[in-house]
Amino acid sequence: MKDGLIVAVFRHYESRAGQPLLHDRALVSIRARRPDGKWGKLSADLMLEHIVAAGTLYTLHFMEEVSARLGWAWTPREVTPGRRPVMEIAGIDQRLIGW
C-alpha cells in the first residue's frame, strides 16, 4: 500500500432527475499515513472547512484537462444572483443550457 490519502472518484453523466449533467463525486478515506509513518485519521471538520477550496481546485484541474484535450474554452454564467458563477463551455446556446 502506498502512503498518503485514498480518494475514489466516480463520474456521473446525469442529474438525479435524469437530465444530462457531467459531474464527479469523490469519496475520501479518513485514514491516512502521516509524515512520521504512523496511521491516523483526518478531521472531517477540517476537511469540511476546506471543501469549497478543494472542489474549486478539482474543477479547475478538470477544466484544464478538458481544454487541453478538446480545445474548449470556458465562460462564467450567473445562476443565482449574488453567488459565484458556474463555469460553462463557451459558445453553448443559452436556450440549450436552459433546456
Digitized pLDDT (tens) for each residue of the chain, 99 residues in all: 466 677 888 989 998 898 888 888 888 888 878 888 888 888 888 878 888 888 888 889 989 999 999 999 999 988 889 998 888 889 988 888 777
Distance CA 93, CA 10 (A): 28
Residues 6 or more apart in contact with residue 85 via CB below 8 angstroms: 76, 77, 78, 79
- Residue 27 contacts residue 12 (beta carbons within 8 Å): no
Copy the grid coordinates of residue 11: 463520474
pLDDT of residue 74: 93
pTM above 0.75, yes or no: no
Give the residues across from 76 on adjacent strands.
87
Task: Please tell me whether residue 56 adopts helix, strand or coil conformation.
Answer: helix
pLDDT of residue 2: 60
pLDDT of residue 59: 86
Phi/psi at 68 (nearest 5 deg)?
Answer: -65, -40
pLDDT of residue 3: 63
- Residue 14 contacts residue 21 (beta carbons within 8 Å): yes
Phi/psi at 11 (nearest 5 deg)?
Answer: -90, 130
